[in-house]
Amino acid sequence: MADIMIRKRKRMRDKDVKALAQQIEDAAGVPVFVPADGVDMAESADFDLIFVKGDILGLVKDGKPFLTVRGVLRYRPVKRYVTVDMGAVAFVTNGADVMGPGITEADPDIAEGDIVWIRDIKNGAPLAIGVAMRSGADLAAKQPGKAVKTIHYVGDRLWKTGE
């Protein structure tokens, strides 16, 4: 097990699970978990974690719920994506923020401050979860500078906790 600190894990009530699932469905564009899946909420150092059937499939950052990389792999969202070229993949999978010139495509509905998932252009594989620092149209315009602040990526402590 990795050294991520998880505190205060407790089972969520059905109505809270439904509300949380609806928020994530609105953001991701696909149905996610249901109360019968046994959903728990826990605290960690950087954000709250959502456990579904014992796996960490979601996170809540600044009151905004979204999927983890494992959650993206399981539920295959169709919204809030940012696609990067293959030259950026090595950097993103090491935790680097996404820079504007590396972006090839972005969901036009993204607003500044939204939590997004980052994928590669070749396979569409999820690489990381981050917070958009620009709108979707500005992300697709490839303007120089930091475009997405990475908060969770393949290979980090949260990812290794699920192994």
In 53-121, the DSSP E strands lie at 55-61, 64-67, 81-84, 98-99, 103-106, 115-120
pLDDT (0 to 100) of residue 73: 95
pLDDT band at 6 (very low <50, low <70, confident <90, very high): confident
Whether 152 has a pLDDT exceeding 80, the answer reads yes
SS3 161: helix
Q: What is the pLDDT of residues 38-79, one digit of tens each?
A: 999 999 988 999 999 989 999 999 999 999 999 999 999 999
Q: Exposed, middle or buried by CB within 10 Å (0-12, 13-18, 19+), for 66?
A: buried
Write down the pTM of the prediction: 0.92
Reported as a pLDDT band with limits 50, 70 and 90, residue 2 is: low
Residue 3 is predicted with a pLDDT of: 67
